[in-house]
Amino acid sequence: MSIDVASSNNNVHEVLMKVPQITALFWVTKIFATTFGETAGDALSMSLNLGYLLSTFIFATIFMGVVYLQIKSKTYHPFLYWFAIIASTTVGTTLADFVDRSLGIGYVGGSTILLSLVCISLFIWYRTEGSISPHAVNHPRAELFYWLTITFSQTLGTALGDWSADTAGLGYTGGMVLFTGLIVLIFVLYKFTHISRTLLFWSAFVLTRPLGAVVGDFLDKPISSGGLDFSRFTASAILLVAIIACVYWAQYKQPNQIKRTT
């Protein structure tokens, strides 16, 4: 997120933003976080045999607590923000699995419902606030819409990732190629067209989640199933270190999160 400068009668004040700048490092961190959400969510629900419903309850409780702290905070705290993202993607993983598998709705049905929820959330947000831009997330009501949309998108992404690997028969490698290609397409549209940057942001935000889902499955599924057979806990630990490194690097490169407004 670049610095936005506006002035009126030379009366300019500074507002600290509550979300990180949207840079290449943001997207790398987001992909690590969504992949971590897949491996950590599966570790709790499958490896520890807690099941999808109980795991969803645990992650949802953590997520709501972290988002409460995020909204109450007056400034941007990078680790708090990314902890909220991680919590949203883990609850998205177990919730999507519960809806698709335990309730028997299936990946197509689950994806359709969740896509509708993402669109409804964005529509109400826009009608209420007049903007769904991540650059405008600087007060509590906008933050509530922001995190609600993120939760729906993370859950949708899990269902899409599983659909591509299983129902569509692409496997983990095919799913990675598909979603990487779509993200590259969005980058090309960003560079060479005038399509709404907000639309492109939310499209990329949604697509990084299924990419993380198939990468996470690729890491921990057996070799016989096309995976690398990493322990879910080992994969989660490696990804967590990568996320922490990215957040520290972002703080080194972008120490201030300031937007100037009138």
pLDDT: is 18 or 244 the higher one? Answer: 244
Q: What is the 3-state secondary structure (H, E, C) of 42-80?
A: HHHHHHCCCHHHHHHHHHHHHHHHHHHHHHHCCCCCHHH
Q: Give me the pLDDT at residue 225, please.
A: 75
- 190 part of a folded domain: yes
**127-185: per-residue pLDDT in tens?**
999 999 988 887 889 999 999 999 999 999 888 888 888 878 888 889 999 999 999 99
Residue 14 has pLDDT above 50, yes or no: no
- 153 part of a folded domain: yes
pLDDT: is 222 or 205 the higher one? Answer: 205
Distance CA 259, CA 13 (A): 9
Distance CA 109, CA 117 (A): 13
How would residue 52 be classed by pLDDT, with cut points 50, 70 and 90? very high
- Provide the angle, in degrees to the nearest 10, between the axes of the packed helices 140-162 and 24-42: 60
Distance CA 166, CA 97 (A): 13
State the chain's mean pLDDT as an integer. 86
Residue 261 has pLDDT above 80, yes or no: no
- 208 part of a folded domain: yes
Residue 262 has pLDDT above 50, yes or no: no
Instruction: Show the tokens assigned to 184.
Output: 């590259």
Domain that holds residue 256: 13-261
The total number of structural domains in the chain stands at: 1
- 246 part of a folded domain: yes
- 225 part of a folded domain: yes
- 5 part of a folded domain: no
- 115 part of a folded domain: yes
Residue 11 has pLDDT above 50, yes or no: no
How would residue 120 be classed by pLDDT, with cut points 50, 70 and 90? very high
- 169 part of a folded domain: yes
pLDDT: is 168 or 66 the higher one? Answer: 66
Q: Give me the pLDDT at residue 257, please.
A: 54
**What's the pTM value of the predicted model, to 2 decimals?**
0.86
